[in-house]
Amino acid sequence: MLDGCTSWPEDFARRYIQEGIWEPKVLWDPLREAAARYPDRTFVADGEKKLSYGEIVQLSERVAVHLLECGMQPRDIVLLQLPNTWEFVVMFYALRRVGVIPIMCLPPHRQTELTYFAQLTGAKGYVFAPSYRGFDYLAMAREIQAAVPSLRCLIAAGDGHDTGVSYLAPCIERPARDPQVLAYYRTDPFDVALFLLSGGTTGIPKLIPRTAADYLYNAKQCVRVLDWGPDTVFMVVIPAAHNFPLSAPGMIGTAMVGGTLAMCPSPDPETVFQAVQRHKGTALAASPALLISLLNSPHLGKYDLSSLRLICVGGQKMQPELADRVWSTWPFATPVQVFGMAEGLINMTRPDDPRDVILHTQGRPISPADEIRIVGDDGQEVARGEVGELLTRGPYTVRGYYKAEEHNRVAFTPDGFYRTGDMVRQDSNGNLVVEGRRKDMINRGGEKISAEEIENLVLSHDSVHMAAVVAMPDPVMGERSCAFVIPRPERTLTLDELTRFLIDKKIAKFKLPERLEVVPQFPLTSVGKISKKDLRDQIAAKLKAEGKL
Ligand code: OOB
């Protein structure tokens, strides 16, 4: 495996291969096979535009040749940051066609995060949309490039004439000069194929290396559980770079069954409803927060959504009341609870599970090869039904973060189980129920925020003596983040000042605290650490008293 990544031990790898779990296939293969079988079937629908399997292969190969012309080599790493458009699909497959490894960045990521990823990996390229939602990504690209000498290639979606930037439009309009060159490129199924981003519990975001064999298995098991087929039309609404819409079963799974991806440029309810109606979407992947915004939308009744069969919900816990509301609003569709993580393990309720299981549990692992343990503080397994931390190991759960040896020693057990930080219990049928978490992060509508990452930035403000960032409950987002600050003597701080200060730090906006509590001191635990539990209780009580819950 690529330097900086942890391989599965040889005996595990051998077993996964012998049992046919890991197949010698690469991410390009399902696309290629589908294109050979039904070249004219639509793979990607994006607004008016429809691209068949044959066309996606052709366009991806043109871009792949262009990548080689730009000097890209197999195992080079690039930042991939595109909105949910057909270009995302073409770029992703183009990179994989020649073995270039994308880092799956989200559109809200900004210079600080991207520069860090690029420096850590020695990334050679950055693929972006020049402007999206009013933000100038081209200007940011130049700044990142100035800070990271390895970043030679800037590749932008669309068309334009900027020095040092190669645009996608011209290179897909003309046939590649030398398409035969691609015949020499065949990547290793057991090496890293892409990097996902971890929600993160430490000050520094982590990169998660996923191999083709593990990722294909991930998607294949999800396809099997949900019984996807060629008539599946999957709605890509949450950012496509998330693991959920990418391979649970997502884009990769759609390609496996010869289905269609319907790209939705925005999670705005009316845009989503229009897209479902237009493309006759059959499956949707959503966070509970997104679902609430859809259900609360005044446009809800105006569109025909009766093509929907599966509403997959994950990223944060779905309350039974919400699942119930989904069911009664769209009786033709079945809700599926998806409790997954970019590190690997995916749990799902099954579409034919009893209603009670679908309403009240987060499902069970998608593979019989997933190993799970639920342990107490002493590291020993708890009795069935008791709450403990979920640990997991398996054929698609990574054995380590990229170049993070020290953190890996804490995040994984010596025998290779990943400590999820999620507190769960398991019912008598093996279904998991998420009861809380012990990791220090905020889950804002499914987007994860590392408390430590933001605390470090808040602490660098002149007026701040001490800082603690905690989750506060929110009826729509589930959680939002609240910063508690003890100011330096004679200083004060307002939320506006803090927000401006953090925006200047060039980080994703969803990470900004949405409330500031200036306090004289923090509650402490019995061992003298800041008691975040008390802070969470404090802010929850205050919100309640203010009538905001
Ligand atoms: C998905 O992946 P990540 O990596 O953004 O976040 C993983 C974490 C989990 O450890 C858990 O804390 C939380 O998100 N989570 C849930 C949940 N799904 C994820 N907590 C409660 N209930 C759920 N259903 O979020 C992700 C990856 C693949 C598929 C779906 C979600």
Report the alpha-carbon distance of residue 412 to residue 461 in Å, rounded.
Answer: 34
User: Nearest residue CA, atom 8 of ligand 1?
Assistant: 341
User: What is the token pair recorded at 31?
Assistant: 């696309």
Question: pLDDT of 420-462, one tens digit each?
Answer: 999 999 999 999 999 999 999 999 999 999 999 999 999 999 9
Distance 3 CA to ligand 1 centre (A): 27
pLDDT band at 205 (very low <50, low <70, confident <90, very high): confident
Q: What residues does ligand 1 touch, defined as CB less than 6 Å away?
A: 199, 243-244, 248, 314-317, 337-342, 346, 362, 420, 422, 434, 437, 446, 448
Distance 199 CA to ligand 1 centre (A): 9
Q: Which atom of ligand 1 is nearest to the CA of 338?
A: 24
Domain ranges of the chain: 27-37+52-187, 213-437, 445-545
Of 326, 337, 339, best ligand 1 pocket probe by most atoms within 8 Å of the beta carbon: 339
Distance 499 CA to ligand 1 centre (A): 27
3-state secondary structure of 426: strand
Question: pLDDT of 206-217, one tens digit each?
Answer: 999 999 999 999
Distance 66 CA to ligand 1 centre (A): 36
The confidence score (pLDDT) of residue 175 equals 83
- pLDDT exceeds cutoff 90 at 376: yes
What is the overall mean pLDDT for the chain? 97
User: Nearest residue CA, atom 20 of ligand 1?
Assistant: 316
Of 214, 291, 341, 447, best ligand 1 pocket probe by most atoms within 8 Å of the beta carbon: 341
User: Nearest residue CA, atom 2 of ligand 1?
Assistant: 341
**C-beta of residue 453 within 8 angstroms of C-beta of residue 511:** yes
3-state secondary structure of 517: strand
Q: Which atom of ligand 1 is nearest to the CA of 362?
A: 24
Helix (H) or strand (E) holding 30: helix 28-37
**C-beta of residue 289 within 8 angstroms of C-beta of residue 316:** yes
- Distances, alpha carbon 5 to alpha carbons 23, 121, 195, 401, 415, in Å: 20, 11, 11, 7, 16
Distance 341 CA to ligand 1 centre (A): 5
What mean pLDDT comes out for the span 88-95?
A: 98
The label of the residue with tokens 């190993």 reads 371
Q: Which atom of ligand 1 is nearest to the CA of 343?
A: 4
Distance 318 CA to ligand 1 centre (A): 11
Q: What percent of the chain has pLDDT over 70?
A: 100
What mean pLDDT comes out for the span 254-276?
A: 97
Q: Are strands 135-136 and 153-156 parallel, antiparallel or unpaired?
A: unpaired
Distance 484 CA to ligand 1 centre (A): 26
pLDDT band at 404 (very low <50, low <70, confident <90, very high): very high
Distance 248 CA to ligand 1 centre (A): 11
Report the alpha-carbon distance of residue 273 to residue 281 in Å, rounded.
Answer: 10
The phi and psi torsions of 241 (rounded to 5 degrees) equal -75, -10
Distance 319 CA to ligand 1 centre (A): 14
pLDDT band at 176 (very low <50, low <70, confident <90, very high): confident
The confidence score (pLDDT) of residue 33 equals 98
Distance 38 CA to ligand 1 centre (A): 34
Distance 313 CA to ligand 1 centre (A): 10
Topology at the third CATH level for domain 445-545 = GMP Synthetase; Chain A, domain 3 (3.30.300)
- Distances, alpha carbon 136 to alpha carbons 84, 132, 364, 486, in Å: 17, 7, 42, 35
pLDDT band at 177 (very low <50, low <70, confident <90, very high): confident
Strand partners, 486: 466
- Distances, alpha carbon 53 to alpha carbons 58, 257, 470, in Å: 9, 12, 46
Instruction: From 48, 66, 183, 189, select the one nearest 125 (Cα to Cα).
Output: 66
User: Nearest residue CA, atom 7 of ligand 1?
Assistant: 341
Q: Which atom of ligand 1 is nearest to the CA of 441?
A: 12
Longest dimension (CA), the chain: 72
Alpha helices, DSSP H, located in 343-482: 355-360, 405-411, 451-459
Q: Which atom of ligand 1 is nearest to the CA of 337?
A: 24
- Distances, alpha carbon 114 to alpha carbons 6, 192, 334, in Å: 23, 20, 38
Give the range among 178-182, 243-247, 362-366, 544-548 with minimum mean pLDDT.
178-182
The confidence score (pLDDT) of residue 198 equals 95
What mean pLDDT comes out for the span 248-268?
A: 97
The confidence score (pLDDT) of residue 81 equals 98
Query: What is 213-437's CATH superfamily?
Result: ANL, N-terminal domain (3.40.50.12780)
Helix (H) or strand (E) holding 42: strand 42-46
Of 223, 316, 442, best ligand 1 pocket probe by most atoms within 8 Å of the beta carbon: 316
Q: Do domains 27-37+52-187 and 445-545 have the same CATH topology?
A: no
Instruction: From 283, 388, 392, select the one nearest 347 (Cα to Cα).
Output: 392
Neighbours of 546 (CB within 10 A): 8
pLDDT band at 395 (very low <50, low <70, confident <90, very high): very high
Q: Which atom of ligand 1 is nearest to the CA of 196?
A: 4
- Distances, alpha carbon 147 to alpha carbons 9, 143, 152, 442, in Å: 37, 6, 11, 30
Strand partners, 50: 45
**C-beta of residue 512 within 8 angstroms of C-beta of residue 520:** no
Question: pLDDT of 510-548, one tens digit each?
Answer: 999 999 999 999 999 999 999 999 999 999 999 999 999
Distance 145 CA to ligand 1 centre (A): 32
The confidence score (pLDDT) of residue 221 equals 98
Query: 27-37+52-187 in CATH: which number?
Result: 3.40.50.980
